[in-house]
Amino acid sequence: MVGSLNVKTGIKFIEFNARFGDPESLNILNAIETPFKELFENIQNQTLSEDNCKFKKINTFTVYVVTPNYAVSSSKDPIKFTLKKDEIEKQGVKVYFSSTKQTQGENYESVGNSRLFALVTTGDTMEEAKVKVYKALERKCGRSIAL
């Protein structure tokens, strides 16, 4: 999340907040070419620059699957679902779990009323990446998704 204010002298940033589980962060983390350890070393050494922070020339796309009442109301009963993680990842789509726990094999359930998991992929075009994520979601979650 970025909070900014447009003033006479230009845009002033009030807040920049991105957690590792946020969709924006997942897109960035999947596009970084430079090894993550090197990024942190360069940040710590105050030597981070365009020369030592490289990104792949690709498009990334993230879809979060959330509980039905996400950000609206809480649910006491966990939501149970099946996810064929290995099959999804074979299609070039990464799965990042959030507020879930694995119960047995491919079965999971929600923990609280939040994001369940994210599907992230890359493509030469945004449309290619988008189609890849939604097809993986449709095939491996057993639900039809409108593109």
Residue 41 has pLDDT above 90, yes or no: yes
Query: How does pLDDT run across 88-144, given as a tens digit for each residue?
Result: 999 999 999 988 999 999 999 988 888 899 999 999 999 999 999 999 888 765 554
Position 138 scores a pLDDT of: 81
Long-range contacts of 102-107 (CB under 8 A, 24+ apart): 106/82, 107/80, 107/81, 107/82
Contact (CB, 8 A) for 43 and 51: no
Q: What is the per-residue pLDDT for 144? A: 45
What is the set of domains in the chain, with CATH numbers?
A: 13-141 (3.90.600.10)
Number of C-beta neighbours around residue 118 at 10 A:
21
Predicted confidence (pLDDT) at residue 53 exceeds the cutoff of 90: yes
pLDDT at 32: 92
Output the CA torsion sign for 101, 70, 136, 124: negative
> pLDDT value at position 57?
94
Whole-prediction pTM: 0.77
Q: In this predicted structure, what is the pLDDT of residue 146?
A: 42
Q: Model confidence over 11-31: pLDDT tens digits?
A: 776 666 667 767 778 888 889
- Per the model's pLDDT, the better-predicted residue between 2 and 102 turns out to be 102
Across residues 52-63, what is the average pLDDT?
A: 94
